[in-house]
Amino acid sequence: MALGIFTMVTSEFAVGGLMPRMAEGLGTGVPQVGYLITAFALAMAVGGPVAATALHRLRPTTALLVLYAVFLAGNALAAAAPGYTAMFVARVVTGAASGAFFGVALSVVARITRPELRGRATGVAMQGLMVGTLLGLPLATFLGELWGWRAAFVAIGVLTLVAAGASAAALPRLDHPEAVGGLGREAAVLRDSRLIGAMLCSTLIIGATFAAFSYFTPILTEVTGFSSGTVPLLLLAYGAATVVGNAVVARFAVSRTLTVIAAGLALNTAFLVTFALAAGHKAPAVVAMAGIGLVGVTMNPAMITRVQRIGNAGPLVNTVHSSFITMGVVVGSWVGGLGIDAFGLRAPLWTGAALALVGLATLLPSAARRLRE
């Protein structure tokens, strides 16, 4: 499942490193290529639950293989796209398949592991996201520079085949979804206000991080004073911090779920504020950026455990939760950029800190319930 998630994330991030070459090859501008990133994210958020619902009657392994096939077809279309419209369609197809894949994959992880190990197992699967952040973008960029941007999507297609083969070979035969409650039971829990609150908290956690992460490069070059050649190394260090942080969070995701989330939000607020205040100084800026890596997107295992505990571990709940997480990426990067013209490049850092504080406030009702119990 980690390999599958790595493949999806690499496809999602690939466009970011291939923008100039793709713009030239598709006969369009860089801003239009940027819309392909937005299209993928929105397709994940909206199309993912639709695809998961459509596949609900299939056995989990079969559903995963269907999603691999759709994802492979989308990447094949991307690699051969004769123009911008075809590429846009390819990104929508791969985005929807990716959104549903996250939900089905996390449901499979929950079903094949004992309850006390689910947090750690989810952490292993989500390392695909962390390693994808660390290596996916630079690998796609390297292939694009070496053999052209289409080669990157061909490579993602090959990786999709490898991940699909590994999934087919390794996963046990699981019962049909109807045997564990069916779509109606899964969908019914989505009316629970506590579940929606937990998912909104996930949106804020990811939004706080991506409000800042989306603008790390201009902040590091124009405010902190690093050269453009140094920034990729700093982003690799940030990615390495996410791998470490994810492993730590996964270890305590089941036993200390709410505590881990609260601590992560509090620390992220502190790191974002520190970065905003000290962005003009290299050492504290780098430390703060690494801190954001440690406690930002790495909250995923705890967030997923919390949602599954309140709702259930079915594909639909996990996919809808993935949509809330993806909307955190979209909203965070959008809101983070709003203040740049008026307040400068430090504004996304302050915006991220504000979102993290709001996320922390959403935990107060849960904390109060625990005290009453």
**Inter-axis angle of helices 2-26 and 60-80, to 10 degrees?**
20
Tell which residue, 285, 279, 296, has the closest CA to residue 211.
Answer: 296
372 or 347: which carries more pLDDT confidence? 347
Q: How far apart are the C-alpha atoms of 228 and 334, rounded to whole Å?
A: 23
Most confident of 63-72, 232-241, 310-319: 63-72
DSSP category for residue 117: G
Cα(268)–Cα(357) distance, rounded to whole angstroms?
9
In terms of C-beta density within 10 A (0-12 exposed, 13-18 middle, 19 or more buried), how is residue 172 classed? exposed
Total residues belonging to the chain: 373
pLDDT at 46: 87
Which ranges constitute the DSSP H helices of the chain?
Answer: 2-26, 30-42, 48-54, 60-80, 84-111, 118-131, 137-147, 149-170, 182-188, 193-213, 216-218, 231-252, 257-278, 282-295, 300-310, 315-338, 340-343, 347-362, 364-372
Report which of 286, 298, 95 is spatially closest to residue 208, judged by C-alpha positions: 298
Give the position of tokens 């994210």. 41
Measured between alpha carbons, how far is 218 from 122 in angstroms, rounded to an integer? Answer: 33
Question: Above 50 in pLDDT, residue 180?
Answer: no
pLDDT > 70? residue 184: no
Question: Which pLDDT belongs to residue 346?
Answer: 94
Residues 210-222 have pLDDT tens digits of 899 888 888 999 9
pLDDT (tens digit per residue) in 259-285: 999 999 999 999 999 999 999 999 999
- Please state whether 314 falls in left (phi above 0), alpha (psi between -120 and 50) or beta: beta
- Torsion angle defined by CA atoms of residues 164, 165, 169 and 171, in that order, rounded to the nearest 10 degrees: -10
Does residue 362 have a pLDDT over 80? Answer: yes
Residue 133 has pLDDT above 80, yes or no: no
How far is Cα 182 from Cα 84, in angstroms, rounded to an integer? Answer: 40
pLDDT over 70 percentage in the chain: 95
Choose between 286 and 329: higher pLDDT: 286
Dist CA 267 CA 249 (whole Å): 13
What pLDDT band is residue 181 in, cutting at 50, 70 and 90?
A: low
pLDDT at 111 over 60: yes
- Which residue type does 13 have? F
Q: Are residues 257 and 302 in contact, defined by beta-carbon separation less than 8 angstroms?
A: yes
Query: Has residue 47 got a pLDDT over 70?
Result: yes
What amino acid occupies position 8? M
Residue 329 has pLDDT above 70, yes or no: yes
The per-residue pLDDT of the chain, averaged, comes to 88
* CB contact at 8 A, 17 and 138: yes
The per-residue pLDDT for 182 is 60
Q: Is 302:261 a contact under the CB 8 Å cutoff?
A: yes
* pTM for this predicted structure: 0.84
Answer with the residue of higher pLDDT: 74 or 192: 74
Q: CA-CA distance, 273 to 271, in Å (whole number)? A: 5
Higher pLDDT: 129 or 92? It is: 92
> What would the mean pLDDT of 129-158 be, rounded to a whole number?
84
pLDDT score recorded for residue 179: 44
**Residue 9 has which token pair?**
């994330």
> Confidence class of residue 177 from pLDDT cuts 50, 70 and 90?
low
